Structure 1
Amino acid sequence: MSIGGVLAVLKPEFPAVSISKLRFLEEQGLVTPRRTGSGYRMYSRADAERIRFALTAQRDSYLPLRVIRDQLADLDAGRAVEQPSRARVVTRDGELVTPPSGARVSAAELCELTGASEAELDEMAQAGLVLADTRGRFPGRAVQVVQAALALARHGISARHLRTVRTGAERQADVIDQVVAPTRSQRSGVARERSAAQAAELAELYARLHAELLRTAVDQLG
């Protein structure tokens, strides 16, 4: 298959995959397509399956490429590959499945939805990344927090290293609270709704600013 043919095969399962992504996986040594005399890439069915394996591991288990590369080497050598724990339900129609807004989930449900172990969840709770109420239940948004923390852990960044992220978010929330407090203090329901909408908008702007500043700082690492 040509690179376009592989893309057509994978697109239904991985809508975000692109030609540049396929070339990147080749550069990282995960797949080695044959080259024609004119220099065009030609992929076998086995090549396509290796790419599918890599994309699935990234999407469902947040594995770094070095781990995926090692797993592929083990498979090539006929050795069994231990699959990491993962959420039982990950996506539906391409969208991440999470509890509805305002929902509360138990520790067991949170572990099931994210693939986290009880020990990992306990470590995140001790670091203040997720907080349970008096009944031991977590907000639905904790699902995304735990999944992100698990992905970072696979790169060697533990929950305790993420405390500064939590404290930074809390400081930003305090600033947002000061901005929306005058509107929220009004008694009308419309004013409270306006306050909530403004807070959500400010949070999104803070998130965008943080992401861009982080990318800039990483670029400066050389």
Structure 2
Amino acid sequence: MQSTSRRTGATAVLNIGEVLAQLTADFPSVTASKIRFYEEKGLITPQRTAAGYRQFRESDVERLRFVLALQRDHYLPLKVIREYLDAIDQGLTPQNLPSGVSIAPRMVSDEVLRELKGRTRRLTAEQLRSESGCGAELFDTMISYGLIASHEGSFDDHALKVAQACTALAAHGLEPRHLRPFQAAADREFGLVERAVGPVSARKDSTAAMRAAESAREIAELCLSLHSALVQTRIAEMES
């Protein structure tokens, strides 16, 4: 039988019957009323047509699989599952997630992904140290050498990535004092990027800032690729 799924923009949408057809092989007990109950509890939020009919996206189906599996295999209450989903919607890894439970990449809707992309997570010093695995002495040294800095008492995801890299490099005997050239190089590369996107960002139209940021990210990625290729060339010379 031909599928009646539609597409809204670039996103396929399903009706509740089509969702059931996708889920019943793995979850025979799932029903339309159960799906509507999960909606009432805020575990899924399907779109609605002008006539009020539900339209389910891939993210809704993946969330349903997640909920159904946790209930079937781990007997978890909906309150706990809701907390897991809330963490996922914030771009976080849920705490105390049962062993073997995976988070599907498409569990978060495109709208939430766009929101997360434009939002930077804030971490306390304790959270940054815990997530990066760095000790107090290394943490203080990174700050003293300007490798990470707090903003209004908190740190962002970029600082976390720096801390994670510094922690891993410290295991190889490279301390923050050895890494200051990277900070200087980053400042120089940012200057190049800033000059390259300057003409775009100077325009007065409403999309100028967005296009400048996209160009800056692309140029930065190319700079990183170039840097990596040059270092790999030197490593290859060691082997010859």
After TM superposition, the score normalised by the length of structure 2 is 0.50
SS at match of 1:136: coil
213 and 103 in structure 1: CA distance in 2 versus 1, 3 angstrom threshold? same
User: 2:161 aligned with 1:147, yes or no?
Assistant: no
User: 2:225 aligned with 1:204, yes or no?
Assistant: no
User: 2:150 aligned with 1:132, yes or no?
Assistant: yes
Write out per-residue CA displacement over residues 162-214 of structure 1, whole angstroms, 9 at most, x where no aligned residue: 10011101100001000111111223231111000000000000001101101
User: 2:175 aligned with 1:175, yes or no?
Assistant: no
Would you say how many aligned residue pairs link Structure 1 and Structure 2? Answer: 130
Question: Which of residues 193, 200, 215 is equivalent to 2:232?
Answer: 215
Q: Larger RCO: Structure 1 or Structure 2 (Cα < 8 Å, ≥ 6 residues apart)? A: 1
**Once superposed, which parts of structure 1, at least 4 consecutive aligned residues long, lie more than 6 Å away?**
none
Residue 136 of structure 1 deviates from its aligned partner by 2.2
Q: Which residue of 2 aligns with 1:119?
A: 137
- Structure 1 gaps of 5+ residues are 1-87
One-letter amino acid of the counterpart of residue 129, structure 1: L
**Distance of 2:237 and 2:104 partners within structure 1:** 34
Residue 93 of structure 1 deviates from its aligned partner by 4.8
**Distance of 1:212 and 1:184 partners within structure 2:** 29
Write out per-residue CA displacement over residues 101-136 of structure 1, whole angstroms, 9 at most, x where no aligned residue: 422211111011111122211111112211112x22
Identity, in percent, stands at 30
After TM superposition, the score normalised by the length of structure 1 is 0.53
Q: Which residue of 2 aligns with 1:103?
A: 121
Map residues 41-56 of structure 1 onto 2, 5 A cutoff: none
Q: Which residue of 2 aligns with 1:55?
A: none
Which of 1 and 2 has greater Rg?
2
Question: Which of residues 188, 199, 211 is equivalent to 1:194?
Answer: 211
**Distance of 1:210 and 1:170 partners within structure 2:** 14
**Distance of 1:181 and 1:175 partners within structure 2:** 10
122 and 196 in structure 1: CA distance in 2 versus 1, 3 angstrom threshold? same
**Distance of 1:94 and 1:109 partners within structure 2:** 25
193 and 154 in structure 1: CA distance in 2 versus 1, 3 angstrom threshold? same
Q: Which residue of 2 aligns with 1:4?
A: none
One-letter amino acid of the counterpart of residue 213, structure 1: L
180 and 148 in structure 1: CA distance in 2 versus 1, 3 angstrom threshold? same
109 and 215 in structure 1: CA distance in 2 versus 1, 3 angstrom threshold? same
One-letter amino acid of the counterpart of residue 131, structure 2: L
147 and 94 in structure 1: CA distance in 2 versus 1, 3 angstrom threshold? farther
Pairwise CA RMSD: 2.5
**Distance of 1:193 and 1:207 partners within structure 2:** 21
SS at match of 1:172: helix
Residue 94 of structure 1 deviates from its aligned partner by 9.7
